[in-house]
Structure 1
Amino acid sequence: MEVILKEDVANLGHRGDVVKVADGYGRNFLLPRKLALQATAANKAVIEQMKAAAARRSATEKVQAEALLAQLEPVVLTFTRKSGESGHLFGSVTSADIASELAAKGFDIDRRKIVLGDAIKALGNHEVSVKLHREVTAHVKVKVTGEAGEETATEAPAETAAAE
């Protein structure tokens, strides 16, 4: 089945592309979600208008993404997590955590745009990519620190034993 994509679809194509997909994928996923149109003669004529509109929309989205990039570059996100003695976290910092922290700072970014190979599971400074647009990627600094209570908890029993 040939379809014309109305939106960018990961691992398939960009807006306006004519792609060949499996019948079930097209019928059950792309068409009901309005991500694509069937590639008929009439729709192929309409695609030229869609491409022009998509190019204009993409240009404005890119300008907005570049403006957001300038605002995101100086941002440093700090997370405090419980960790073991070797600096390995008991939990992790995920893209959802980063998205919620960015939302707290006034940035509305979907967690799916945050690119993490794996969740952050170690203390220290990390750099996370945020895909704002197809051509614009921001890099946000993430600092993960251990909880302050952990150091005092490990020191406290030693002090109590010395006092006795």
Structure 2
Amino acid sequence: MKVILLNTIGKIGRKGKLIKVKNGYARNYLIPTKQALLATKENIELFEKNKIFKEKEESKKINHSIQRINIIKSIGAIVFFMKSSEKKKIFGSIGIKDIISNFYHMGILIHKHEIHLPKGLLRYLGLHQAIFTPYKNMSTTFTISILSK
């Protein structure tokens, strides 16, 4: 029996593949658990339309992410002015919310899951690197400069 997989299943196949399985396996497991659709002409056409739509949506997300990455690259560095001790340790720390707030004041909307601080909270004066990841494997680094007041 031919079926279209709706989920990736171990050694059987990846999501979206048209595969041939034994009749009992398809009727008793794959179709009732909504892991596969019977491969009729209508289902194949519907699945292809959905696949094309998802590819277009994916393309839009990638293009939007590239634009956002270019905006972040054009900024250069974000500057924070903080009170600090003589040992260059700032009073308090700078976290993801502070960085998002700084971007917001520049007119750029960023979500907290898109920023990653490799060394955790920033607690010392100087230059620090942060990673901006707007979509899946697309990322860029930007500089955070912390200066004393």
TM-score band, normalised by shorter chain: 0.5 to 0.7
If the length of structure 1 is used for normalisation, what is the TM-score?
0.59
CA contact (8 A) 1:130 1:139 kept: yes
Greater strand share, structure number:
2
What secondary structure does 2:74 align onto? Answer: coil
Alpha-carbon distance, 1:71 to partner = 1.5
CA contact (8 A) 1:95 1:112 kept: no
Alpha-carbon distance, 1:58 to partner = 1.4
What secondary structure does 2:131 align onto? Answer: strand
Identity across matched positions, percent? 17
Distance 1:17 1:88 in 2: 51
Map Cα deviations across residues 73-116 of structure 1 (whole Å, 9 max, x no partner).
13121111122211112211101110111111111110121011
Q: Unmatched 5+ residue regions in structure 2? A: 1-5, 9-13, 17-32
Other-structure match for 2:74: 74
What secondary structure does 2:129 align onto? Answer: strand
CA contact (8 A) 1:62 1:135 kept: no
What secondary structure does 2:135 align onto? Answer: coil
Distance 1:39 1:4 in 2: 9
What secondary structure does 1:85 align onto? Answer: coil
Matched, 1:61 2:87: no
Q: Unmatched 5+ residue regions in structure 1? A: 6-15, 19-37, 148-164
Q: How does 1:59-138 map to 2 (within 5 A)?
A: 59-75=59-75, 76-117=77-118, 118-138=120-140
Alpha-carbon distance, 1:49 to partner = 5.0
What secondary structure does 2:86 align onto? Answer: coil
If the length of structure 2 is used for normalisation, what is the TM-score?
0.65
Alignment CA distance shift 1:131-1:42 (3 Å):
same
Alpha-carbon distance, 1:137 to partner = 0.8
What secondary structure does 1:96 align onto? Answer: helix
Distance 1:123 1:110 in 2: 25
- 1:81 partner letter: M
Alignment CA distance shift 1:48-1:123 (3 Å):
farther
What secondary structure does 1:132 align onto? Answer: strand
Other-structure match for 1:154: none
Distance 2:58 2:113 in 1: 19
Alignment CA distance shift 1:56-1:123 (3 Å):
same
Alignment CA distance shift 1:43-1:88 (3 Å):
farther
How many pairs were matched up? 116
